A = this chain, B = another copy of it.
């Protein structure tokens, strides 16, 4: 059995008994088969010494119980690792960053506390999944759309705290967050924004409150346990309509991205758009590998000849528009018109969806994410239907400036790096995951039964972090197993920002009980050893 670092079995058992008093005996888990459920199913260290595993788990049902857990943890110096629904797969799952931590499982706190149709917001607990909120809204017949990531079983709060995203106009989940309740490491509870004014009615409508706007410091960190969070929602649109644009040549990306970014910053495009190269991130062959391996990565003429020989457009982009029919049509048409200035460009209209949609229409719609319908259909892990996939994967997501030059450079540099690594790392599309940059999400496979393979994958992952950082493309989010590395690349002025994070950490959690190591932030006595 894993124990918290430096704690005896006897002291730990005594602490667990206290936790049982706080939350009920049946909600403290220390049997190996129960604790195993909190392993990271996709761990790149599966069954190795370095795999990060929990010592126990505790599942409170109320804010008061969370407060009690914090007080007990402080008393016994037990490392606590809060999770919402524990679905942070591909970034570390439910497993703690520090082995021996007690997982604080907030799944039971799954109440949708309020949904306002008039002011288009929801207030939820951490255990509320996208499915939960979606069903609540549908069951009550409210004309609201939520924004869902892929897949939809995760927690709204957990995803927002990790700066996750979906595809609709509300896709940047952190930016839609409005007001939170936090249990601090010392067990005190506070509310941010206007939630701190006892009778204010704008907790979910005005973000800043008065004085320092602190919400952000609780994201990607370990400064408190979020027990409630508000989210801005989109009123159900009349229409959702897509537009696909393809352009034939290598250098067309310059103009394509220029138009994209201009339309985005102008508010004409208001949702996620994706950009892919059916050539650069399409099927690879010997000719392509040879071209990519040339000094400078091939000239534009060589690439154009290659694309033409394969009869593939060099670039493909997809946009989606949300709103009233005439406004959507005007935006769609304007975007088409702007793109018509690129010679050889081709368009594809739709799909188009009209609301309200019946339950059956929703269930049958193939583009669920675009419609804010949670699903597991885009689930990329191995399922009974897809036994050939790797056991798991680690996502690797970098921030790329919204310019054609950067897109070209990123696809070529990362493509070359992945090819050299030879572990089957795959590049995804480049998308406007957040508002004014692209995120390029790639994934590295992991295999439970092949330690040697996993070792190579880890080395390739670490090299990819280095290669992208050298090019100025930082990670927007980190896999739990590589957080120190990810953060170390944000090193301006002798790691001034990281050192500031630890200053905050020591102030708000002096005993360092919360999520040791998360995003490179370690308690005082573990620093440097990491």
Residue from B217, B223, B478, B504 within 8 A of A210 (CB atoms): B478
Assess A267 versus B205: contact at CB under 8 Å? Given A191-B497, A212-B219, A487-B210.
Answer: no
Assuming the contacts A118-B403, A197-B492, asked whether A474 and B209 have C-beta atoms less than 8 A apart, the reply is yes
Kindly supply a per-residue 1/0 record for chain A positions 202-229, scoring 1 wherever the CB is within 8 Å of any chain B CB and 0 otherwise: 1001111111111111111101000000
Q: In the complex, what distance in Å separates the CA atom of A163 from the CA atom of B206?
A: 11
Tell me how far the C-beta of A454 lies from the nearest C-beta in chain B, rounded to whole angstroms. 24
The one of B208, B218, B270 that contacts A163, using a Cβ cutoff of 8 Å: B208
Task: Tell me how far the C-beta of A340 lies from the nearest C-beta in chain B, rounded to whole angstroms.
Answer: 14
Cβ-defined partner of A267 (8 Å) among B323, B330, B437, B504: B323
Q: Tell whether A44 is near chain B: CB-to-CB under 8 Å.
A: no
Complex CA–CA separation, A197 to B474 (angstroms): 7
The residues of B that contact A119 with a CB separation of less than 8 Å are 261, 265, 401-403, 436
Contact (Cβ within 8 A) A326 B330 = yes
- Interface status of A519 (Cβ within 8 A of chain B): yes
| Inter-subunit contact A493/B189 (CB<8 Å) | yes
A174 interface contact, C-beta 8 A: yes
Once the chains bind, are A184 and B500 in contact (CB under 8 Å)? yes
- Flag if A202 contacts B474 (CB, 8 Å): yes
- B266:A210 contact, CB within 8 angstroms: no
**At the interface, yes or no: A345 with Cβ under 8 Å from chain B?**
no
The 14 listed contacts between A and B (C-beta, < 8 Å) are A119-B436, A189-B496, A190-B492, A197-B489, A206-B434, A206-B436, A210-B474, A210-B476, A211-B498, A214-B500, A216-B217, A217-B217, A233-B265, A503-B507
13 further A-B contacts with Cβ under 8 Å, apart from A169-B267, A190-B497, A213-B216, are A191-B496, A194-B399, A197-B472, A200-B399, A208-B220, A210-B487, A211-B220, A212-B220, A214-B501, A233-B265, A266-B324, A268-B323, A330-B330
Binding site for B on A (CB under 8 A): 118-121, 163, 169, 174, 178, 184, 188-192, 194-202, 205-221, 223, 232-235, 237, 258, 261-262, 265-268, 270, 322-324, 326-327, 329-331, 333-334, 399-403, 406, 434, 436-437, 469-478, 486-487, 489-493, 496-501, 503-504, 506-508, 519-521
